[in-house]
Amino acid sequence: MLVDSHCHLDRLDYKEKHKNIADVIDKARVQGITHLLSVCVTLDDYPAMAEMIAPYKQVSSTCGIHPLYKEAVMDEALLLEYASSDKVVAIGETGLDFFYSPETKEWQMDAFRRQIRVAKQLNKPLIIHTRGARQETLDILHEEGAEQVGGVLHCFTESIEMAEEAMKMGFYISVSGIVTFKNAKELQEVIKAVPLDRLLVETDSPYLAPVPHRGQENEPAYTHDVAKFVADLKGVSFEELAEVTTNNYFTLFKGAVTVN
């Protein structure tokens, strides 16, 4: 049993690669992935995504505004309304990205703070995107009291020092297909050092397909490939890696439903 702890089901290719969302879920189930977390990146996208996944108990969702979507609506009242749904188990993805969009730094920091405050109101964890903003991300998490709800630093590519600081605040570290890339030696060393009981696995599909699927559109079924690589990297069995990361997921996202 595995969980894809971060995918964007509303952004997959339903014209050529998949028939529909049920097809995606079935392909994942064949590979042992029994639960998916479909992550929202703008409030504009949320209603359609929510409607898409509504029939599937094995799919949970998040609601938030990604730091690279400055043109998106940042309406705290609307976020609070949407995220109050039982289907929504986390706020995000939110965070900071000064690598791709340093010119929107002030907007990003304000939106990040406001989303942490909504997470605290709802007592739901955070899905954090961070790139090129290690210290600023940690500072805001500390200043806004994010340890009250915890969460996950998703698709982690940062330093072990940042991971350790985040874990002290109750955050988990999620690893994506990037860890399988040949040029990811530094990241591989970081993931070796992250305790198994603080680790999640994800695809971030449709992006960042792992080896041996690199160059293709990513999909939740490929969580299996990420998990197998991480298990080998950490010197544990695939079964142990799957069991522990799945337990970690349901410990963090308490509103998620297990469907065997």
The DSSP line for 92-142 is EEEEEETTT-GGGHHHHHHHHHHHHHHHHHHT--EEEEEES-HHHHHHHHH
Supply the pLDDT for residue 259.
62
- Name which of 87, 137, 88 is nearest 111 in CA terms: 137
Give the tens place of pLDDT for each residue, 40-64: 999 999 999 999 999 999 999 999 9
Check residue 221 and report its DSSP letter: G
Average pLDDT over residues 25-54: 97
Describe the crossing of helices 76-83 and 46-53 by its angle, rounded to 10 degrees.
0
Asked whether the predicted pLDDT for residue 85 surpasses 60, the reply is yes
Phi, psi of 4 (to 5 degrees): -90, 105
pLDDT band at 260 (very low <50, low <70, confident <90, very high): low
Supply the pLDDT for residue 83.
97
Give the tens place of pLDDT for each residue, 99-147: 999 999 999 999 999 999 999 999 999 999 999 999 999 999 999 999 9
Give the tens place of pLDDT for each residue, 136-185: 999 999 999 999 999 999 999 999 999 999 999 999 999 999 999 999 99
Supply the pLDDT for residue 252.
98
Average pLDDT over residues 74-82: 95
Give percent above pLDDT 90 in the chain.
Answer: 95
Give the tens place of pLDDT for each residue, 218-240: 999 999 999 999 999 999 999 99
- Please state, in angstroms and rounded to a whole number, the distance separating the CA atoms of residues 253 and 260: 17
Supply the pLDDT for residue 255.
76
Give the tens place of pLDDT for each residue, 179-223: 999 999 999 999 999 999 999 999 999 999 999 999 999 999 999
- Provide the token pair at 106: 């002030």
Q: pTM for this one?
A: 0.96
